[in-house]
Amino acid sequence: MALSDRIVVPAQALARTKALNRFRIGDKVFQRLTRAAAIGVLLLLSGVIVSLISGSLPAFRTFGLSFLFSQRWNPVTEIFGALPAIYGTVLTSFIAMLIAVPVGLLIAFFLTELCPQWLRRPIGIAIELLAGIPSIIYGIWGLFVFAPFLQATLQPFLINTLGNVPGIAPLFAGPPYGIGLLTSGLILAIMVLPFVTSITRDVFEAVPAVLKEAAYGLGCTTWEVVRNVVMPYARVGIIGGVMLALGRALGETMAVTFVIGNAHRISPSILAPGTTISATIANEFTEAVGDLYTSALIALGLILFVITFIVLACARYMLMRIERRIG
Amino acid sequence: MKAMPDNTLAARYSARRRRNGVATILAYGATAFGLGWLVLILGALLWKGFSGLSIAVFTEMTPPPGSAGGLLNPIAGSLMLTVVAVLIGTPIGILAGTYMAEYGRYDRLSSVVRFINDILLSAPSIVVGLFIYEIMVAPMGHFSGWAGGVALSVLVIPVVVRTTEDMLTLVPNALREAATSIGLPRALSITHICYRAARAGMVTGVLLAVARISGETAPLLFTSLNNQFWSTNFNAPISSLPVVIFQFALSPYKDWQALAWTGALIITMAVLALSITARALVPSGKQS
């Protein structure tokens, strides 16, 4: 008995050390693994940047900086300039924000102050479902339903009214094509509306109730509370949300590709067909023959990535600031 | 405040009320406007897509123009691409999220990764397509299902990282302390205690990621390309529902356009079902 005790105890101790070691090693391995995955996310982004830069080198080597400012896009003679695509991207996003920001703010106002409690969640979810609809659905709907509708109604109206106003007439010149820059901008507006709404609603809700109650106590109307208390308090968050939505609008591909018309030119009229960076890539990349053509398209992708990166980084920075203030 | 004549006060008061009334009406109008689009888009989808819905859609291949057919190969292709993307993206996403919430909650690496991940979350998906083209399609010399799956997994990762981190942060520290106090090593306490507590939220993250990628077209256009025929070979171009919709909708053929609408209806219903399920899974807490 005594003998077996003497033998068993070291064996147990040995097993215990072994188990402990296994735990320790397992722990280390798991920690390294998670750390590697986290670093992998960083590598992913740097990989995107590096591959885009290396892919676009031939284009920039051939055209230099004039690639950014040239209006010509001719695959046959292999002369490429990015300006029409950049112009289309910026203009369509601008139209989208012009509509989506005020409407989104008003919906947030409705959801936080006016809406009865029981309706808040359903309406909030419905608005977010809009965000869940894939962009290709907006595209097909835009091409077959929305564009013909605009061609028959809004566009002739704009041409007949604003098209005669001196000064802004060139903006609304030309025949109503249906598709074009304005249509793309409007579809983008519908697409980014849920982003603006849900973020502004969140920052509106984060405004301390005491502030609002104090304002109501002074006799402010609902609108005055929102205008003078809620919006100033939530300003940074609103700007962050708007920039986030802008980032989406700038990079949106499929919805725009269907209705933009894919015309590489800058025309003063917003009713005319144009192109955007993403639409150009989507339409032409698989058909691009020759290294220079491919490289020019990748260079367009690089420009798009740099623009959206800056916009999104600003947005995240602002949203982080407001989170820190709340938290 | 200075005393004011009664009529000016009354005028000011009614002006303020009027302004409030206008703002209220505008807010109601804006909400109706926002919801109106949802109704219009879903209505058009049902109207145009439902008539084409039949058994043939799920049993027959994509037709050449002018003849009848279905969407079997793109549906199967989309499912396979999604599975590959989730299988690649989810483990990486969960591990990275775990590091940020558990091991490195307060270190510098985590905050940098969080920032970068948030940017990846809304980066243009077409750029992801270009990236995968550069690193996979161009070196391999041909389009392939693998490239498409990897491209989609790049979109899965940020969504999963974000939800995993958020959900693990919500797990009470008392659970971790209890696990440590009975001698559980950190790795086991994370995999056996924290993951279990955060499971519903993490599953939601994966569902949201699937919802996000199932309609993605742009990153597939020049990675997995398209295939007119039945194919399960991931080394070759593979068909997918969004790319087929894109191609068919822009074609001049009426039957192709009708099939595109039907495909659009199928995708939308799948995405909406996924996102509603995901929402139902999260009990009552906020989700990003």
Quick one: tokens of B227? 């295939």
Segment A96-119, tens digit of pLDDT: 999 999 999 999 999 999 999 999
CA-based nearest distance A269→chain B, Å: 25
Contact check, Cβ <8 Å, B264/A23: no
Quick one: tokens of B175? 């659970």
Minimal Cβ distance to B33: which of A103, A286, A320:
A103
SS3 A26: helix
Q: Is A134 on the interface with B (CB under 8 A)?
A: yes
Are the C-beta atoms of residues A255 and A191 closer than 8 Å to each other? yes
- Give the CA angle between residues B140, B145, B150 to the nearest 5°: 80
Minimal Cβ distance to B122: which of A103, A194, A248:
A248
Minimal Cβ distance to A103: which of B34, B99, B279:
B34
Closest CA relative to residue B78, chosen from B203, B224, B273: B224
A165 falls in which pLDDT band (50, 70, 90)?
A: confident
Q: Is the pLDDT of residue B258 over 70?
A: yes
The mean pLDDT value of chain A amounts to 90
Burial state string for B44-79 with b = 16 or more CB within 10 A and e = fewer than 16: bbeebbeebeeeebeeebbbeeeeebbbbbbbbbbe
pLDDT at B146: 94
What are the helix (H) ranges across chain A?
2-63, 66-69, 83-109, 117-132, 135-141, 147-152, 154-160, 181-205, 209-217, 222-225, 231-233, 235-251, 254-259, 277-284, 291-326
pLDDT at A6: 55
pLDDT at A173: 84
- Give the CA angle between residues B170, B172, B173 to the nearest 5°: 125
Contact check, Cβ <8 Å, B272/A129: yes
Q: Is the pLDDT of residue B67 over 90?
A: no
Segment A4-21, tens digit of pLDDT: 555 556 778 888 889 889
Best residue of A18, A110, A228, A317 to probe chain B, by most B CBs closer than 10 Å = A110
Segment B74-103, tens digit of pLDDT: 999 999 999 999 999 999 999 999 999 999
pLDDT at B285: 47
> Which pairs from B18-23 meet CB under 8 Å and 24+ separation?
B19/A221, B19/A223, B19/A224, B20/A221, B20/A222, B20/A223, B20/A224, B23/A106, B23/A109, B23/A222, B23/A223, B23/A226, B23/A227
Contact check, Cβ <8 Å, B31/A111: yes
Length of chain A counted residue by residue: 327
Are the C-beta atoms of residues A280 and A298 closer than 8 Å to each other? no
Minimal Cβ distance to B134: which of A51, A247, A278:
A51
Phi, psi of B172 (to 5 degrees): -65, 140
Residue tagged 């595109």 (tokens): B260
Chain A, window 229-268: residues with a beta carbon less than 8 angstroms from a chain B beta carbon: 244, 247-248, 250-254, 257-258
B278 falls in which pLDDT band (50, 70, 90)?
A: confident
> How far is it, in rounded angstroms, from Cα B272 to Cα A126?
10
> How far is it, in rounded angstroms, from Cα B264 to Cα A136?
8
Instruction: Report CA-CA distances (Å) from A101 to A125, B28, B83.
Output: 19, 15, 37
Contact check, Cβ <8 Å, A114/B24: yes
The better pLDDT of the pair B229, B145 is held by: B145
Q: Exposed (0-12), middle (13-18) or buried (19+): which is B99, by Cβ within 10 Å?
A: buried
> How far is it, in rounded angstroms, from Cα A277 to Cα A250?
9
A3 falls in which pLDDT band (50, 70, 90)?
A: low
Segment B124-171, tens digit of pLDDT: 999 999 999 999 999 998 899 999 999 999 999 999 999 999 999 999
Q: Is the pLDDT of residue B173 over 90?
A: yes
> How far is it, in rounded angstroms, from Cα A210 to Cα B275?
35
Q: Which residues of A touch B218 (CB under 8 A)?
A: 135, 253-254, 278, 282
Segment A266-314, tens digit of pLDDT: 988 899 999 999 999 999 998 888 889 999 999 999 999 999 999 999 9
Residue tagged 């590096």 (tokens): A50
Question: How many A-B residue pairs are in contact by the CB < 8 A criterion?
Answer: 266
Q: Which residues of A touch B116 (CB under 8 A)?
A: 41-42, 45
pLDDT at A25: 92
Q: Is the pLDDT of residue B114 over 50?
A: yes
CA-based nearest distance B1→chain A, Å: 14
Amino acid at B207: L
- Looking at chain B, which residue has its C-alpha nearest residue A127? B35
Segment A56-93, tens digit of pLDDT: 999 999 998 899 999 889 888 889 999 999 999 999 99
Phi, psi of B68 (to 5 degrees): -80, 160
Q: Is A311 on the interface with B (CB under 8 A)?
A: no
Q: What is the pTM of this model?
A: 0.91
**Mean per-residue pLDDT for B213-221?**
92
